Structure 1
Amino acid sequence: MKRSLLSAVLVFLSIVAAQAQDETDALRYSRLTSGGDARTQAIGGAMGSLGGDVSAMSVNPAGIGLFKTNELTITPGFRSLNTDATYYDNQASDSKSSLFLQQIGLIFASNPRRKNNDSRWKNVTFGLGVNRLANFNRSLYYTGTIKGDKSNFSSYSDNYWLQLQGETDLDGAQDNYPFGPSQAIRTYLIDPVLDDNNNPTGDWAALPSDIISNGHPLEQSNSISSKGGINEFSLSVAGNYDDKLFIGASLNIPSINYDRSQTFRETNTQDKNSVLNYFDVDNSLHTNGVGINGKLGLIYSPQPALRLGAAFHTPTVYTLHDTYSTRVTTSTTDQGLLTSSTQDITDGYPGEYDYNLTTPWHALASVSYLFNDGVDAPVHGFITADYEYVNYAAAKYRFNRDDGGSGLGGATAKDQADALNRSIKDMYKGASNLRLGGEVKFNVMAVRAGVAWYGSPYQDSNVKGDQLLYSGGLGYRNGGFFADLTYVYNREKDEDQPYYVTANDAGIPSPQPAALTSGGSNIILTIGFKL
């Protein structure tokens, strides 16, 4: 294909790309955990008022004001995640394991001011580090059989069929829709309807839709593998006023790296009149980008045993870049096995798109109680709790490339972003997150436990989207060296929508979502040094 032909389809690329981002992507990049080192995760991530830990930079930066010495930590981790899925009453499961770097942190604590200094500001502390806030490593598989008619069930190919309606340029149709419809034509999954004179009517026929219309079942399966995460670099500063009030702020640069590969298959199991055996749609997506946000916090200690904390995280503004492609493979009794990909049509170039996403602000309140703190007793410890509120409905897209009204229905990129943002508001809501933990320390050893509950972000109360984490760990501190080991088990319910039927004037329904139940185990190890 000539380079000029690639330029000719750029307008279409912008239209499709604007639709490639959806509500699920917005939630994925908005729903974060506190992350942190092994000690913080052992107490459920509740670091809003406790302080004295490098993880405070990501939760309440005022917490680093409690440091009296310099500190260096490194935290690797191992994760194993199993997901059970139910789709049209069929059950399946898949699992994935991975190693990752959870955190690196460095604290610079200035020397306390001299006693004869009149200022009640004791010292200033600086911190920098990288913390993983989201882990996208996951494998998911589900399968189910649909049977009925077009008023109740749909095919993945229906979106291609809808995009092609009214198209009479048969040669152009094989090149101008490089993210599915053109590949479906090239592999004979979809064919034009001709009149008696062999002229195109603008109507098209799709083999899977014919099977459904004839009342025969189709077996659908979806296999998704993803990897990557969100890592946040933080530069923090905190001040200590009279050992009672600690005020902190951080400038944070989160980076997103996300890879997803999906294979959706539909198989003809009973219709002997159809030539279709099965077809696969392989979609690949790579998203990367950076954002910026700020975090402000304070911790007030009215008495040595009590600490109260509050923090506010500004919205994160991301600049993101997507690279994506589609491959369609069709197996029929008359044509055999045929395959066509985006790169076959665009001279080896995938689709690309740049856009902005703003994720919601966070507000946090916290309380900690320390027992035997500073007292010569054999046992010391604390209990701590955080409450966090996140308004997931506040996530917003902004698409950078405007198509001048050439989108579906004459919509501009701004129109499409506005429609998607309204859908986000309709689908999601504000949610509360609770984190609770504690520690008991015996000389150089410590025992910790915690629990965290992340509320469902969905407006629909029938969608189970909450997440529950249980954690426990051990710690060793002796002189200038310390080591912490933590185990975290998380249980989560969610849904996965295999596809949506869009631009739909024919009333074709989207499929029901797959119900997901995930169980994951994280093992986190922190090695630290007092410098």
Structure 2
Amino acid sequence: MKSNKHINPLFNAISPRFLTVGLLAIILLAPTLLSAQYYQDAIRFSNTTPLGSARIQALGGSSVALGADPSSIVTNPAGLGLYNRSEFTITPAFNYTLSRTDLNGTRTTDELPKWSLDQISGVLSQSREGIGGWLGGAWGISVQKINDFNSSYTYNGTNNTSSIIDYFVESAWGAPTTQFPAPSDAFDLTSLAYYNYLIGPWTVVDSTYANDEYFSDVTFLGSSFLRPTLQQHETVTTKGSQYQINFGYGGNFADVLYLGFNVGLTTLQYKSIKTYREDSFDYSQTDEPDHHPLNDFDLTEELAINGAGANLTVGIIVRPIPIFRIGASITTPTAYALNDSYGTTMGANWNNFLYGDIIDGDTLLNKTYMESPYIESNYNLKTPMKYALGTAVFFGKLGFVTLDAELLDYSNTWLKSDNASLDAALESDNNYIWDNYDKRVNLRAGAELRLSPVRLRAGYAINGTPNDHSSSLKFYNQTFSAGVGVLFDQFYADFAAVYKYQKSQYSPYLLPDRSEPIVDIAQNTIRTVLTLGFRF
């Protein structure tokens, strides 16, 4: 029996690079798609959230209209104009993430503790006394984390509907075996599957078949297609962060109008390691219960991306009356120059299986293994423009409430390379972004109660995550925060605790009949932050 030929347009729509299909988790949380994906990296690196001082994190990240905080340098540099004293601050943080996965009822838990430095800053105030006119301003410089990629989760489960081998068959289908480079040059997973004998051309079964159609001994015997029950396991670990070095100025006109700008120089380090395994193949429920060609196989992917970029932020705050402020800022697209390095390995543990080759004779399979050369590429990324609007209402010396909204249009994310062949592939990614991503709004709110010298704070944020409209996989992200601070003449200390809850789904591969496994992922992160400020 010969299989029907499947055509999956997704395989032709996206540039090849990775193993897995998952939805960006916190973001982006989980890397994705077995046939992809520069576009997913582009979305991941565009979805930034400045972490900032403990005060602002306790307020849910709402800072556009507040000012007089080192976080203003990034979110709205006009806030520098509200400083009347110089200061130096440092903000260390500790993250604890608990990840829970569920694959077909099998639950797995992972823990990840991590120390980090969220911000270090210095502000030089040049304010001057006066009633009207120009009242000076302040210069600010800071290094601030704007994205954290540290994450790890594992899933395990039983699958009786598909195997990643099905994806390899689909991916190879339609092109002759000459599509596979020499073993020393094979860098994609489908080629590695071919050289590990996980897939082969139908000519192995019958020489009258064309050699552009494929099968697997794991799911085929004689004239029968088989669907074994098997165990699937994967660990996905990501590391790294994005930081921004900031040089900003904010000025004060009559304590009513504040204007500012900031030049941001960004750095990016990202690493993803994925280890995938299938084992415990059980044919007892098939027509060939004694068939047992393969014990297990595994593959590993490593991707490292490094780069730097630049952007400009301009902002305004208006205080028409002492108790009310409204602020707005615009951040230009960040222009990145990126370098990535990608490599993979694959090995199979066969059960002394006799692989029939009608041309070269029979091949007895025990252990097979291949690793790809590392492939490097250089390209440019332009992230979307950011628009932010915020308000703050003050209740005398009792405190305030504040609310921010931030708009990004992810469809304006753009990739380009000076390498002609890579640029052609990136154009497909650009089209995919344009067709499947759109505008998203992030909302952040916070409140502060002042009980001199103590400040009590609380906040909430919900992020309009950049979901891929072409995928059924979904993602959700919200944070709750609280904090306390003490303020003295020349020193202050702020503490914040931030609870982030993220839900996402992930698939290690996609198939035309949608029989791929879907992993439910829930991540709970508790973030504790301390800011120490020294005023002079």
Cα distance between partner residues in 2 of 1:169 and 1:363: 50
Are residue 74 (structure 1) and residue 94 (structure 2) matched? no
3-state SS, counterpart of residue 269 of structure 1: strand
Tell me, yes or no, if the aligned pair for 2:77 and 2:250 is still in contact at 8 Å: yes
Matches of 1:321 and 1:80 in 2, distance apart?
A: 30
Q: In 1, Cα distance between the equivalents of 2:165 and 2:405?
A: 42
Q: TM-score, normalised by structure 2?
A: 0.83
CA distance in 1, matches of 2:184, 2:176: 12
Aligned partner letter, 2:502: E
Give the aligned partner of residue 476 of structure 1: 486
Residues 177-218 of structure 1: CA distance to partner in whole angstroms, max 9, x if unpaired? 223344334433334544888999455443445389412223
Deviates more, 1:324-333 or 1:427-436: 427-436
Structure 1 residue aligned with 2:530: 525
| Structure 2 CA distance for aligned equivalents of residues 399 and 145 of structure 1 | 42
**Match of 2:158?**
145
- Indicate the residue corresponding to 1:309 in structure 2: 327
Aligned residue for 1:10?
A: none
Q: Shift in Å at residue 111 of structure 1?
A: 4.1
Q: Which amino acid aligns with 1:478?
A: F
How many aligned positions are there?
A: 485
Task: Look up the match of 1:180.
Answer: 189
State which of 392, 397, 406 in structure 2 corresponds to 1:368. Answer: 392
Residue 47 in structure 1 maps to residue 57 in structure 2: no
8 Å CA contact 1:426, 1:459 repeated in 2: no
2:313 touches 2:329 (CA, 8 Å); kept in 1? yes
Does residue 354 of the first structure (1) align with residue 366 of the second (2)? no
SS at match of 2:220: helix
Separation in 1, partners of 2:525, 2:205: 57
Aligned partners of 1:156, 1:301: CA distance in 2, in Å? 63
For residue 273 of structure 1, give the secondary structure of its aligned residue in structure 2: coil
**How far is 1:336 from its partner?**
3.3
1:318 aligns to 2:336 (yes or no): yes
1:499 and 2:499 are equivalent in the alignment: no
Q: Does 1:342 align with 2:360?
A: no
* Alignment partner, residue 98 of structure 1: 114
**What one-letter code is carried by the residue in structure 1 that aligns with 2:94?**
F
Distance 1:72 1:213, change over 3 A: farther
Is 1:124 matched with 2:154? no
Which of 422, 426, 433 is the equivalent residue of 1:417?
426
Q: TM-score, normalised by structure 1?
A: 0.84
Relative to structure 2, which stretch is displaced further, 153-162 or 307-316? 153-162
- Identify the range of structure 1 (332-341 vs 156-165) with the bigger mean alpha-carbon deviation: 156-165
Asked if the contact 2:184–2:372 (Cα under 8 Å) also holds between the matched residues in 1, the reply is no
* Cα-Cα RMSD: 2.8
Tell me the alpha carbon deviations over residues 414-437 of structure 1, each in whole angstroms, 9 at most, x when there is no partner.
443232222223332211211111
1:284 is aligned to: 302
The structural deviation recorded for 1:512 is 4.5
**Contact preservation (8 Å) 2:294, 2:351:** yes
CA distance in 1, matches of 2:331, 2:270: 23
1:231 is the counterpart of 2:243? yes
Residue 28 (structure 1) aligns with: 44
Contact 2:305 2:339 in 1 (8 A): yes
Correspondences of 1:322-333 after superposition (within 5 Å)? 322-333=340-351
Q: 1:457 to 1:168 in 2, by over 3 A?
A: closer
- Deviation digits for residues 384-442 of structure 1 (CA, Å, limit 9, x no counterpart): 11111122222222233223xxxxxxxxx444323222222333221121111111122
Amino acid at match of 1:363: Y
State the partner residue of 1:61. 77
Are 1:486 and 2:504 an aligned pair?
Answer: no
Q: Structure 1 223/213 Cα, relative in aligned 2: closer, same or farther at 3 Å? A: farther
- Mapped pair 1:445 → 2:461: no
Is the CA contact (8 Å cut-off) linking 1:168 and 1:200 kept in structure 2? no
Taking a change above 3 Å as real, the CA distance of residues 258 and 424 of structure 1, as seen in their structure-2 partners, is same
CA contact (8 A) 1:167 1:173 kept: no
Between the two proteins, what is the percent identity of the paired residues?
28
SS of residue in 2 equivalent to 1:424: helix
Would you say 1:514 and 2:519 are equivalent positions? yes
The 3 A distance-change label for structure 1 pair 198 and 430 is closer
Structure 1: stretches of 5+ with no match in the other structure: 1-14, 344-349, 374-379, 404-412, 502-506
Q: Gaps (5+ residues) in structure 2?
A: 1-14, 19-34, 284-289, 353-364
Paired amino acid for 1:128: I
Shift of 1:341: 1.1
Match of 2:287 in 1: none
Counterpart Cα distance in 2 of 1:401 and 1:16? 16
> 404, 422, 435: which one pairs with 1:386?
404
**Match for residue 10 of structure 2?**
none
Matched to 1:526, the amino acid is T
